[in-house]
């Protein structure tokens, strides 16, 4: 099946202890799309400036990402510059230039409005709501957000949350949004506002799935080489939603657990190179092989005490 993703397409400049890259392809919708496209048809809605490289547009089309909803406006493309220390879970933002993103209003093409799976990437919650006003009876709607919107547009965000099925955010954002330090209490509070499922991203430590008073934990994959964690959460979401679309799934507990593992798998590939470079070459065979590693990592036989 198909996925509609609305979010950011950007040019990133990233420095980690293992290298530095300037003006590379980034953005929430980019990483999401590059992960999800292996499992589903992806339809992208975002905005870029006139300076956005043609080679990146060609890459989207080469990977069969539908860009009819990608607006090209006069001005410069959204840019983010960040730096990581040896704790790769923490990014230091050095520069943010919204540029054309500042006036972005998502316009959903008619051919996208009946797409069954919708992912609302990290943009203003009012704009996320306007996307929902334009789509028609989606099967699943998932949403991501960030601390900036939680702090500055909290009430707008809560209104949008009441209209979605799944929320995918990191543990710090869960605590900030719920104003609860305990993740169990935080998850219950957020789901009381409307979402049926909460997925808590925990970086290198994996992810937690909360649904109907129950938790499921996915481990992080121990990796010898991690070069750039930028976009790992978005590639997680791409794998998660990509799998739901791939199998035509809804909110069944077993399907959601599998989707979390697929999301963690996609994130583990994303971090192994800068930008989307590893995701560009990724194959289903490689994904399948790493899924077996995840199963070995998290599986154990029943423990019987004497």
Dihedral (Cα; 128, 7, 259, 61), 10-degree rounding: 140
Joined together, the tokens standing for residue 189 give 């509070």
**C-alpha separations of 200 from 3, 28, 105, 173 in Å:** 21, 17, 28, 9
Nearest to 25 by CA among 226, 228, 204: 228
**Rounded to an integer, what distance in angstroms lies between the CA atom of residue 153 and that of residue 6?**
18
> Is-contact 217 245, C-beta < 8 A?
no
Q: What is the pLDDT of residue 251?
A: 94
For 250, the enclosing helix (H) or strand (E) is none
If you compute the radius of gyration of the chain from its CA atoms, what whole number of angstroms results? 18
The answer to whether 211 and 258 have CB atoms below 8 angstroms apart is no
Sheet of 91-97, strand order: 19-26, 10-16, 79-84, 91-97
CA distance 29 to 71: 13
- Provide the whole-model pTM: 0.94
Which neighbouring-strand residues pair with 83? Answer: 15, 92
For residue 268, the model assigns a pLDDT of 94
Name the stretches of the chain with pLDDT < 50. none
Q: What is the DSSP letter of 199?
A: E
| pLDDT at position 253 | 94
Q: What secondary structure, in 3-state letters, does 16-34 show?
A: ECCEEEEEEEECHHHHHHH
Two tokens at 209? 């799935």
Please report how many Cα atoms fall inside a 13 Å half-sphere around the Cα of residue 128, on the Cβ side. 28
Which tokens hold the place of 252? 């069944």
Query: Interhelix angle for 154-161 vs 125-134, to 10°?
Result: 30
Name which CATH class applies to 2-298. Answer: alpha beta
Tokens standing for 195? 């979402």
pLDDT attached to residue 256: 97
pLDDT of amino acid 28: 94
pLDDT attached to residue 222: 86
What span, in angstroms and rounded, lies between the C-alpha atoms of 103 and 225? Answer: 39
Bridge partners (DSSP) of residue 71 are 47
pLDDT for 92:
87
Domain limits of the chain?
Answer: 2-298
3-state secondary structure of 217: strand
What average pLDDT does the structure give for the chain? 94
Yes or no: say if 220 and 264 are a contact pair by the CB < 8 Å rule: yes
Give the pLDDT score at 1.
86
**Residue 278: its pLDDT value, please?**
95
* Alpha-carbon span 228 to 205, nearest angstrom: 16
- Residue 50 is predicted with a pLDDT of 97
What's the pLDDT tens digit per position in 195-227?
A: 999 999 998 888 999 998 899 999 888 887 888
Sheet-wide strand order for 65-73: 65-73, 41-49, 2-6, 117-120, 140-143, 166-170, 197-201, 207-211, 214-218
Q: Cβ–Cβ contacts within 10 Å for residue 62, how many?
A: 10
Tokens 């169990």 locate to 184
């Amino acid at each position: 099946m198909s996925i509609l993703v609305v979010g950011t397409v950007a040019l990133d400049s990233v420095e980690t202890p293992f290298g530095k890259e300037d003006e590379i392809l980034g953005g929430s919708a980019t990483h999401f799309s590059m992960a999800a496209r292996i499992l589903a048809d992806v339809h992208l809605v975002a905005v870029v400036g006139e300076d956005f490289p043609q080679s990146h547009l060609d890459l989207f089309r080469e990977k069969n990402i539908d860009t009819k909803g990608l607006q090209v406006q006069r001005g410069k493309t959204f840019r983010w510059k960040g730096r990581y220390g040896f704790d790769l879970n923490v990014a230091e933002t050095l520069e943010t230039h919204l540029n054309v993103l500042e006036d972005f209003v998502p316009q959903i093409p008619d051919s996208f409005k009946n797409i069954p799976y919708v992912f609302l990437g990290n943009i203003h919650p009012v704009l996320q709501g306007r996307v929902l006003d334009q789509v028609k009876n989606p099967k699943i709607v998932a949403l991501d957000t960030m601390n900036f919107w939680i702090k500055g547009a909290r009430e707008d965000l809560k209104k949008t949350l009441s209209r979605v099925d799944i929320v995918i955010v990191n543990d710090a954002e869960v605590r900030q949004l719920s104003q609860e330090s305990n993740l169990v209490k935080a998850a219950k509070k957020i789901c009381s506002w409307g979402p049926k499922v909460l997925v808590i991203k925990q970086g290198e430590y994996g992810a937690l799935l909360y649904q109907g008073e129950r938790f499921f934990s996915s481990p992080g994959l121990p990796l010898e080489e991690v070069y750039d964690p930028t976009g790992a959460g978005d590639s997680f979401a791409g794998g998660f939603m990509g799998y739901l679309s791939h199998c035509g799934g809804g909110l069944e507990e077993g399907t959601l657990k599998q989707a979390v593992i697929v999301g963690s798998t996609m994130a583990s590939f994303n971090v192994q190179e800068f930008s989307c470079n590893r995701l560009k070459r990724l194959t289903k065979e490689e994904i399948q092989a790493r899924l077996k590693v995840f199963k070995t990592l998290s599986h154990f036989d029943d423990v019987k005490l004497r």
